[in-house]
Amino acid sequence: MFIIKSNGFQVTAEKKAEVENNVGRLAFDFEKVGIDPETLDVTILLSKLEMDKFKVTITIPTDKKVLESSKEATTLKEGLDLTVENLANQVSLLK
């Protein structure tokens, strides 16, 4: 389940779908290490720091470890990409 929180801007349905699709890419990574992605509660915090700076923080508690990544970027998409990439690396270490 995705829990999306925002700080400083409105999350439209389009943005929500973009976030869920981006984070959803991690499902395959979790399956590879034997974790059912459907059982995870994923918290995503989207923050607008300045006019041209966003911060994306994603927290995923698993039975092995709480995974967390936080990245700043000039666009929300870039922040999501960097954060999801970092989490994919963390998931691969859960083997």
pTM comes to 0.92
Q: Look over the chain and give the mean of its residue pLDDT values, rounded to a whole number.
A: 94
Domain layout of the chain by residue ranges: 2-92
> What is the spatial distance between Cα 34 and Cα 9, in angstroms, rounded to a whole number?
36
pLDDT at position 14 is: 93
pLDDT at position 84 is: 97
Q: What percent of the chain has pLDDT over 90?
A: 88
Distances (CA, A) of 37 to 6, 57, 59, 62, 88: 23, 18, 13, 10, 13
In this structure, CATH architecture of domain 2-92: 2-Layer Sandwich (3.30)
Q: Which two tokens stand for residue 80?
A: 């999501």
pLDDT tens-digit profile of 43-57? 999 999 988 899 999
Name which of 1, 4, 26 is nearest 89 in CA terms: 26
pLDDT tens-digit profile of 55-66? 999 999 999 899
**Exposure letters 26-43 (e unless 16+ CB within 10 A, then b):** beebbeeeebebeebebe
> What is the spatial distance between Cα 60 and Cα 86, in angstroms, rounded to a whole number?
12
